[in-house]
Amino acid sequence: MARVNIPTFKLNNGREIPALGYGTWLGMDESESSDKSPDKPFEFGFSTAGIPKMVEALSYAIDVGYRHIDTAHLYRVEPEVGQVINKKIQEGVVKREELFVTTKVWHHFHREADVEVSVRGSLRRLNLDYIDLVLMHWPMSISQEGVDEKIDYLETWRGFESVLSKGLVRSIGVSNFNLEQMDRLLKNCKVPPVTNQIEINLNLGQKELVDFCQANKVLITAYSPFGTMVPSRSAPNSPEPKLNNPTMVAIAKKYGKTVTQVTLRYLYQRGIVSIPKTVTNSRVVENASIFDFNLDDDDVQTLAKFDNGFRTVRPIFWQDYENYPFDKVPEKLEIPESLRIWKNGFNSDID
């Protein structure tokens, strides 16, 4: 079996986080809506079909040397992630203290006291005694009914500081915070976030935000590190580069690597953690085989030119809510019910 050796970055609290992790987000499916009105022909929902493959790939990832696992309450897979982790610990493949497990608090739990409710729910579903890192998934606070609760994320952060002080988590951070929100949080917290997990890829470099966070010792973690490069995330009129982009192919050939490996290496050289997702064992190894080469300055500059601000993840159904972190667009969409109310696990039967 192939083995991978993944280095670590140091967090601002002295703990270490592996520079590449296994992402467990399985995405959403578009299906014909039960509501037959002309303005709502389709709805988005979560499919459990990919969970068995994810379980198999995560198990393989731990076997080959992955130690960083990224999940979330929203993803519905905390029970299965916990089962894999505990199985690998029981088998002697890994010790609990060797793993770095991240999960996230969803919109519904933004009141200070509710953060602990969310974290304890994740601990129960994961069947763990502590979580290495818990993130505020988004800065907005939205009820299960889709009501904007307008809870200040500074109040929510006090809940994060509380679960940290109680030993339920080892580190606390945020996700999808823009520069202004990060600045305000850093000026009004007792414990600074260790990371801001945001979309970062070749099309969306977010240099100003990255520079600000790094200057303030907040590590950046990149989700969707391939953007629309891979076919599964391709969108109409999405920009280059794609997997067959001649410039990318030439750079990859130069180093004897794949286009996706070049992409992940570029982010690593920017001091950014990546959490790519895959349910294919060969890609599990491929994604982590990026620490044995170095992109030269010319190639780094060439790759930087792909940055045009294009967002792969743009949840416009939240854009009228207070604390929405991105620029707004003219389109309007209702919040999918599956982003408001759900059960967890393969059988969707776990609270």
Mean pLDDT of the region 39-60: 80
Annotated binding site for substrate: 137
Contact 174, 193 (CB under 8 A): yes
Handedness of CA 73, 76, 82, 84 (dihedral sign): negative
Confidence at 33, pLDDT banded by 50, 70, 90 = very low
Closest to 344 (Cα-Cα) out of 57, 71, 74: 74
Residues that are catalytic: 75
- How large a percentage of the chain has pLDDT more than 90? 88
Residue 70 gets which letter from DSSP? Answer: E
Contact 166, 103 (CB under 8 A): no
Rounded-to-integer distance, Cα 297 and Cα 323, Å: 38
In degrees and rounded to multiples of 5, residue 148 shows phi and psi of -75, 110
Least confident of 92-106, 180-194, 281-295, 325-339: 325-339
Q: Two tokens at 337? A: 């019910």
Q: Tell me if residue 152 falls in helix, strand or coil.
A: coil
Mean pLDDT of the region 317-321: 96
Q: What are the beta bridge partners of residue 131?
A: 169
Q: pLDDT value at position 237?
A: 85
For 245-271, give one letter per residue: b (16+ CB within 10 A) or e: beebeebbeebebbbbbbbbbbbbebe
What pLDDT, in 10s, does the model give residues 16-25? 999 999 999 9
Sketch out the chain's domains with CATH numbers: 8-339 (3.20.20.100)
pLDDT at 336 over 70: yes
Q: Two tokens at 291? A: 């620490």
Q: pLDDT value at position 37?
A: 44
Mean pLDDT of the region 237-257: 96
Half-sphere exposure of 203 (CA within 13 A, CB side): 22
Single-letter code of the amino acid located at 171: S
Would you call 236 exposed, middle or buried from its count of C-beta atoms within 10 A (0-12, 13-18, 19+)? Answer: exposed
What pLDDT, in 10s, does the model give residues 130-151? 999 999 999 999 999 999 999 9
Mean pLDDT of the region 91-116: 98
Q: pLDDT value at position 1?
A: 78
Q: Two tokens at 195? A: 């990371």
Mean pLDDT of the region 171-182: 98
Confidence at 43, pLDDT banded by 50, 70, 90 = low
DSSP string, 230-274: SGGG--TTPPSP-TT-HHHHHHHHHHT--HHHHHHHHHHHTTEEE
Handedness of CA 283, 288, 291, 294 (dihedral sign): positive
In degrees and rounded to multiples of 5, residue 149 shows phi and psi of -85, -10
pLDDT at 34 over 60: no
Q: How far apart are the first and last CA of the chain?
A: 37
Instruction: Determine the Cα angle at 310 with ends 206 and 51, to 5°.
Output: 95
Instruction: Determine the Cα angle at 70 with ends 333 and 222, to 5°.
Output: 65
Q: pLDDT value at position 233?
A: 80
Would you call 308 exposed, middle or buried from its count of C-beta atoms within 10 A (0-12, 13-18, 19+)? Answer: exposed
Single-letter code of the amino acid located at 218: V
**How far, in Å, are 13, 31, 234, 238, 310 from residue 231 at the CA level?**
38, 19, 5, 11, 16
Rounded-to-integer distance, Cα 250 and Cα 163, Å: 48
Mean pLDDT of the region 54-68: 98
Contact 290, 257 (CB under 8 A): yes
Mean pLDDT of the region 169-181: 98
Confidence at 127, pLDDT banded by 50, 70, 90 = very high
**How far, in Å, are 186, 212, 227, 284, 314 from residue 207 at the CA level?**
19, 8, 16, 28, 18
Q: What radius of gyration do the chain's Cα atoms show?
A: 20
Confidence at 63, pLDDT banded by 50, 70, 90 = very high
Annotated binding site: 137
Average pLDDT for the chain: 94
